[in-house]
Amino acid sequence: MPMKLNLGTTQLDLELPVIMGILNVTPDSFSDGGQFSEPDSALRHAVSMANAGATFIDVGGESTRPGAADVSADRELERVIPLIEKIRGESDVLVSIDTSKPAVMVEAVRAGATLINDVYGLRREGALEAAAGLGTAVCVMHMQGEPRTMQESPHYDDVIAEVSTFLAEARDRCITGGIRADRIVIDPGFGFGKSPRHNLELLVNLRRFTELGLPLLVGLSRKQTLGHLTGRGVGERQAASLAAAVMAFERGANIVRTHDVEDTVDALKVVQAVIAAGNE
Ligand code: YH5
């Protein structure tokens, strides 16, 4: 049965690769140096990613990079809400909101977002209730610890089993809380409380997470593990990111979150065509 994600107004077909373009609107955003924090340049970048084939624009106003400090709800709201309104005014592209705060979820959905992407997996107070009440789709991600300290000494006895159990429990919590299964996306959370070795193990065994029967999102774009493997700085990890995206898609990822939309769209078109030809 072809997998679909229920976005309320539309059923998103997950048979073909779905690309999510990253739009950080944090002044300190590590991987793009905050170059999109000016409202106009952020809007232009969103439209250009949509034209390059992004299905979603993932708007984030809360820095979740390793070591980052918390942002207040008011600061986050003033960064993301006008931008979501403008994106939706200029384009039919879908918007996801990268937040863990209930107030931001509510306002972002009112402004036109249809997917709530929460790196805390709806575990913060009021988040599950807010998301369930909004009736949108959600992405629940695994994270060990919290952004400020999560990379200090990540430890697992069995990273695959532990992330898998976490995601199964997150799914059950969502369903019990009133979010229907056809609105839930899961994500193993590359780089969120994981060493390079843990991240490699997650990528090798990514297929295991498809056993939960839900769409799978991955975010590897420009992350530290790729720097660790290539010796390259954050602004020169495009090729490494593309290799990781290809391998994740081959292992069952449905949605790929990336800074480099155009290249990722092309690469995954080729991979998809090869997989389809192999199934004929
Ligand atoms: C994710 O994986 N990641 S924000 C460090 C980097 C580069 C990029 C040092 N939000 C995810 O993108 N949402 C983020 O280099 C996410 N999955 C989902 N669902 C961190 C990020 C990054 C961090």
Query: Does the C-beta of 256 come closer than 6 Å to ligand 1?
Result: no
Query: Does the C-beta of 71 come closer than 6 Å to ligand 1?
Result: no
Atom of ligand 1 nearest to the CA of 185: 19
> Cα 148 to the chain's mean position, in Å?
19
Rounded-to-integer distance, Cα 189 and Cα 30, Å: 17
CA of 104 to the centre of ligand 1 (A): 19
pLDDT score of 9: 84
Question: Which of 25, 63, 140, 141 maximizes ligand 1 atoms within 8 Å of its Cβ, making it the mutation to test the pocket?
Answer: 141
Task: Provide the annotated active-site residues.
Answer: 223, 257
Can you read off the two tokens belonging to residue 180? 């229907």
pLDDT score of 66: 74
Q: Taking Cα atoms as reference points, which of 86, 68, 70 lies closest to residue 59? A: 86
Question: Which of 19, 36, 80, 117 maximizes ligand 1 atoms within 8 Å of its Cβ, making it the mutation to test the pocket?
Answer: 117
pLDDT score of 34: 52
CA of 219 to the centre of ligand 1 (A): 6
Q: Taking Cα atoms as reference points, which of 29, 111, 109, 106 lies closest to residue 62? A: 29
Query: Does the C-beta of 272 come closer than 6 Å to ligand 1?
Result: no
Q: In what order do the strands lie in the sheet with 115-118?
A: 184-187, 137-141, 115-118, 94-98, 56-60, 18-24, 255-258, 217-219
Atom of ligand 1 nearest to the CA of 222: 7
Residue nearest to atom 21 of ligand 1 (CA): 65
Mapping DSSP onto H, E and C, the string for the chain reads CCCEEECCCCEEECCCCEEEEEEECCCCCCCCCCCCCCHHHHHHHHHHHHHCCCCEEEEECCCCCCCCCCCCHHHHHHHHHHHHHHHHHHCCCEEEEECCCHHHHHHHHHHCCCEEEECCCCCCCCHHHHHHHHCCEEEEECCCCCCCCCCCCCCCCCHHHHHHHHHHHHHHHHHHCCCCHHHEEEECCCCCCCCHHHHHHHHHCCHHHHCCCCCEEEECCCCHHHHHHHCCCHHHCHHHHHHHHHHHHHCCCCEEEECCHHHHHHHHHHHHHHHHHHHC
Atom of ligand 1 nearest to the CA of 119: 13
10-residue stretch averages of pLDDT, the chain, 280 residues long: 87 97 78 58 97 98 78 92 97 97 98 98 98 98 93 95 98 98 98 98 98 98 98 98 98 98 98 96
Residue ranges and CATH numbers for the domains of the chain are: 16-278 (3.20.20.20)
pLDDT score of 1: 56
Can you read off the two tokens belonging to residue 178? 């009133």
